[in-house]
């Protein structure tokens, strides 16, 4: 069988056999030993093979029952005994050692791109290693990305539990109807791994994971995970302005605009070309209101959509001008069920 192995399980087995605890070194037993089990660790010139017997039960001179396994290194004549739990790793079922997740990347495989295509709709998640962040520009124009939410979503596809392994006949029959195409690319590789998930059949979806190797996953889990709602990948933090970086604040309403700027040792408010000194706690007020959190996302709007939410002529627009010359703004429009509709600007 040529399939992906369960890396974690194999790693535990390798660790177990890399340092075997010997119970006792012994002379070669007089009785013939049937070394039923054998394990080889391939380490180039240091490769070694361990031969192990079935469990032996013996009663010693003090009437105490001892359970152990005879063992020896195949390359040497030295015999010893091992604890019987060493045999727990020998499971005579190849499925036991197979990966139990949908894609099962290798230990050194870093996923850098996932692409889902369903009914012509393409969702692409690409990781930009240089900028150390996920790129959703093909789906979203906003900068309010939740990097953890995106990464979690990608690995939910990678790590989706396999319900069972499927026969070629059963899976190929289901794959005559397609639910979606799935593409995966790993860091430092140009080629993609291409997969197809079948349409639901008896509560399952089928996929050919390796050549002529098929797995089945829960159709309910796939349908629940797949989404075209990109808002799930956005942060709930609309704005978090460092108060010590604020150089000027502008408050705009349909009737007037007030500008507050920091002077030598105090803040000055300017309205209708008239200025006055104000209390020095402006930055404290900014700090107490940060971060600005989003209740929920409504839609990605065009200019034509703004009047419906009162954002063409905002009830209030607040702009923070920072010491580096950059600015961040938030506009508040009509009242909504909870709070007001809002729109961010740079």
178-186/204-210 β-pairing: unpaired
pLDDT tens digits in sequence order for the chain, 346 residues long: 889 999 888 888 888 888 888 999 998 888 889 999 998 888 777 777 889 999 988 877 676 778 999 999 877 778 999 999 999 888 888 899 999 999 988 777 889 999 999 999 999 999 988 888 888 877 777 778 888 889 999 999 999 999 999 999 999 999 999 999 999 999 888 899 999 999 999 999 999 999 999 999 999 999 999 988 888 888 888 888 888 888 888 888 888 888 888 776 778 888 877 888 776 788 888 888 888 888 888 887 778 888 999 888 898 998 888 888 888 898 898 988 888 898 887 5
Q: 309 exposed, middle or buried (CB, 10 Å; 0-12, 13-18, 19+)?
A: buried
Q: Which two tokens stand for residue 69?
A: 């396994």
DSSP, residue by residue, 141-170: --S-B-HHHHHHHHHHHHTPBP-EEE-HHH
Could you tell me which of 227, 190, 204 has the C-alpha nearest to residue 102?
A: 204
Distances (CA, A) of 136 to 6, 49, 115, 127, 150: 31, 50, 11, 9, 9
Please name which of 247, 277, 275 lies closest in space to residue 262, comparing C-alpha atoms.
247
């Amino acid at each position: 069988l040529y399939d992906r192995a369960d890396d974690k399980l194999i790693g535990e087995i390798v660790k177990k056999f890399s340092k075997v605890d010997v119970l006792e070194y012994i002379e070669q037993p007089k009785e013939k030993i049937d070394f039923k089990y054998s394990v080889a660790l391939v380490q180039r010139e240091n490769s070694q093979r361990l031969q192990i017997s079935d469990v032996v039960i013996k009663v010693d001179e003090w009437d105490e029952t001892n359970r152990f396994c005879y063992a020896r290194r195949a390359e040497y004549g030295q015999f010893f005994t091992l604890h019987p739990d060493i045999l727990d790793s020998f499971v005579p079922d190849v499925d036991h050692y197979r990966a139990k997740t949908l894609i099962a990347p290798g230990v050194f495989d870093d996923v850098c791109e996932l692409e889902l295509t369903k009914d012509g709709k393409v969702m692409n998640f690409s990781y930009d290693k240089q900028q150390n962040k996920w790129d959703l520009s093909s789906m979203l124009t906003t900068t309010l990305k939740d990097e953890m939410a995106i990464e979690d979503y990608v690995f939910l596809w990678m790590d989706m539990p396999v319900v069972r392994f499927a026969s070629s006949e059963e899976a190929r029959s289901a794959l005559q109807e397609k639910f979606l195409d799935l593409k995966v690319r790993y860091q430092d590789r140009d080629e993609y791994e291409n997969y197809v998930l079948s349409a639901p059949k008896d509560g399952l979806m089928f996929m050919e994971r390796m050549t002529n190797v098929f797995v089945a996953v829960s159709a309910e889990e796939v349908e629940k995970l797949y989404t075209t709602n990109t808002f799930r990948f956005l942060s709930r933090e609309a704005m978090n302005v460092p108060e010590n970086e604020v150089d000027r604040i502008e408050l705009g309403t349909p009737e007037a605009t007030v500008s507050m700027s920091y002077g030598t040792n105090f803040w000055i408010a300017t309205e209708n070309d008239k200025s006055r000194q104000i209390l020095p706690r402006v930055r404290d007020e900014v700090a107490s209101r940060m971060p600005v959190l989003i209740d929920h996302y409504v839609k990605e709007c065009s200019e034509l959509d703004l009047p419906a939410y009162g954002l063409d002529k905002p009830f209030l627009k607040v702009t923070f001008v920072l010491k580096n010359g950059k600015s961040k703004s938030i506009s508040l429009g009509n009242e909504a069920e909870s709070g007001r509709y809002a729109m961010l600007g740079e």
